[in-house]
Structure 1
Amino acid sequence: MDTGTRLQAASRRELDAAGVAPQLRAAYQRCRMLNAAHGRTYFLATRLLTPAQRPSVHALYGFARWVDDIVDDTEQPRTVRDRQQALDQLDRDLRACLRTGRSDHPILAALIDTVARHRIDPAMFTDFMASMRMDLTVREYPTRAALDAYIYGSAAVIGLQLLPVLGTVCPAAEAEPYAAALGGAFQLTNFLRDVGEDLDRGRVYLPMEELAAFGVGRDRLAWCRGGRPDRRVRQALADQVARTRAQYRAAEPGIALLAPLSRPCVTTAFTLYGEILDRIVESGYDVFRRRLAVSGTRRLGVAAAALGSVVAARLRARRSYV
């Protein structure tokens, strides 16, 4: 059986387990393909969820990726106005779909089905679209509070959207602050890793007043894009890494509040995203010349180590039904 056939078979098993209607299967498969192609760590972690959970996660990822591509896809030479119009049209389509419960667009069709299945608050998508619009015009964030407002819509709500899919062992409201915090920690990690790429897009996703405390501004960051970071920039980035690690620590207790079957997945993502910070430190904070990442071997090793927890959790779940 070749790779393509195996992937198709895996997708069918997931859709069967989730009870996805025949007319929606192509839609969910489209989202799964987007996740597999673009979210390496994210997709790997979803493999540790039950097959029934995965299609909904793929749908949420597929929608977020679609919107992100409208904002940032450099292969399509569109003006800011073009991108704004595309976002506005998508927002109108999304609102209509949430109201009617159906769509002819595959990504929206899968998303709407997922929203209905898990009773996800539609307001979260309004917040998400608001942050995506900010990317078209906002080039930097003066304070941590300003950046946090952006992160809430761009990342914290992703954690909140996923929470009903993952399930909890407590009232959902108790787990929500942790889910939002972890989504934000993942986003902050991406911001640190992608400083160079974001500069090329004209953006800085680090609070300017916190950088200024180390004598660092946009011009100094741009200068480092052509070489290694100097002492001031390394100190400023070390401070940002420390702040991000603190957010991971604040979010970590929430993992124990998740349904046991979901914990290995989130623990794996928690570990691998956290190790991106390790790679940043080990590189001497050289986030300007290349995109740092956890190796494929390491990603597979962490996922493989989590398989024991997955098997144990599923056995316990089966016994509870007997």
Structure 2
Amino acid sequence: MTAQSAAAASRQREPGSAALPSLEEAYEACRQETAEWAKTFYLGTLLMPPAKRRAIWAIYVWCRRTDELMDSAEAQARPVEELAARLDAWELRTRQLFEGQVRDGLDRAMVDTLERYPQSLQPYLDMIEGQRMDLLQTRYATFAELELYCYRVAGTVGLMTQEVMGLDPAYTSAPWSERPDTSEAAVALGIANQLTNILRDVGEDRGRGRIYLPQEDLERFGYSEAELLAGTLNDNWRALMAFQLARARQWFARSEAGVRWLAPDARWPVWASLRLYRGILDVIERHDYDVFNKRAYVPQAGKLLDLPFSYVIAQAR
């Protein structure tokens, strides 16, 4: 994001002043932030019609602003009490967004998105609750605990965006049609993406004192927390990671069932994003599960080469 556009988008409205960037400027700021911080996700949005991609950018930026309250370098130096107060203030501001109140340009893009694609406030509150989990919880005893966290910080994104994606009229236009429920698949894709993030970022998270891999799994595979913190690569670690990757792939598979219900102009970008993000798991395998010393990502050339395959799958489903 350029300094000029960022300043325009985040310019605060002073009491009695209507100084805000235009809606076009606000959406452009959302586009730039998405392109900078979520390259794989951004590539998928470019396959959408302009109105839908702009809405997705606005929702992404709201999610990123929420995440930054906890995960930015500046936030990590703050006491827990201050972070908790920030989250409380952000929850209030989010409730006000749903009432149409605007404080800056990024808010303006989000309010416009909510007007165009009405949706529930609850997933947004759930995501904020996920950030509250990060205030005090740095370990997860079971996968059930981790699944709840993954739903809150990522599964909610599927619920936030499903109204933007829309449904295929072929499933809804007939008088006898029953509106298909895509919520379960949308949540599953978010959880799959978050599990992928966790596996990719094990090395980075340990530096912040966080271990998201369930403690029950560490015990099951005979791999200690001390070994994880030391970045030990051994057969037990590889078996543990193979198990985690298989679990993440199961969540991706669960999400696939709902893609066929989506509007035709949303199926290709969703398939592209799904396949590209799942590709990170393949890279982890090629790195022999070394997430301590190697960053797993899909190269740009690989992303571009995969787009035609995603298109063919989208047309067939």
Kindly report structure 1 stretches of 4+ aligned residues shifted beyond 4 Å: 170-173, 304-310
TM-score (norm. length: structure 1): 0.84
Percent of residue pairs bearing the same amino acid type: 35
User: Residue 45 of structure 1 contacts residue 303 of structure 1 at CA under 8 Å; is this kept in 2?
Assistant: no
Matches of 2:276 and 2:151, distance apart in 1: 22
Q: Does 1:296 align with 2:295?
A: no
Shift of residue 183 of structure 1? 1.0
Shift of residue 27 of structure 1? 2.1
User: Residue 276 of structure 1 contacts residue 292 of structure 1 at CA under 8 Å; is this kept in 2?
Assistant: yes
Structure 1 window deviating more from structure 2 (228-237 vs 122-131): it is 228-237
CA deviations 1:112-131 (Å, max 9, x no partner) are: 22122211101111101000
- State the one-letter code of the partner of 1:90: W
Name the residue aligned to 2:95.
Answer: 95
Name the residue aligned to 1:17.
Answer: none
SS in 2 for 1:287: coil
User: Residue 34 of structure 1 contacts residue 65 of structure 1 at CA under 8 Å; is this kept in 2?
Assistant: no
Shift of residue 208 of structure 1? 1.2
Shift of residue 106 of structure 1? 2.1
Unaligned runs of at least 5 residues, structure 2: 3-20, 172-177
CA deviations 1:59-101 (Å, max 9, x no partner) are: 0100111111121112564333332222222111111222x31
Matches of 2:24 and 2:91, distance apart in 1: 24
Shift of residue 290 of structure 1? 2.7
Question: How do 1:128-277 and structure 2 match up within 5 A?
Answer: 128-169=127-168, 170=171, 174-224=181-231, 229-277=233-281
Shift of residue 173 of structure 1? 5.1
SS in 1 for 2:268: helix
Unaligned runs of at least 5 residues, structure 1: 5-21, 314-322
Residues 1:218 and 1:106: Cα distance change in structure 2 (over 3 Å):
farther
Matches of 1:67 and 1:271, distance apart in 2: 26
Q: CA RMSD in A?
A: 2.3
CA deviations 1:251-300 (Å, max 9, x no partner) are: 11211111111111011111111110001111110011132101111112
Structure 1 window deviating more from structure 2 (88-97 vs 57-66): it is 88-97
Name the residue aligned to 2:27.
Answer: 28
- State the one-letter code of the partner of 1:168: L
Matches of 1:173 and 1:305, distance apart in 2: 26
Aligned length: 290
Name the residue aligned to 2:51.
Answer: 52
- State the one-letter code of the partner of 2:261: L
Q: Does 1:285 align with 2:284?
A: no
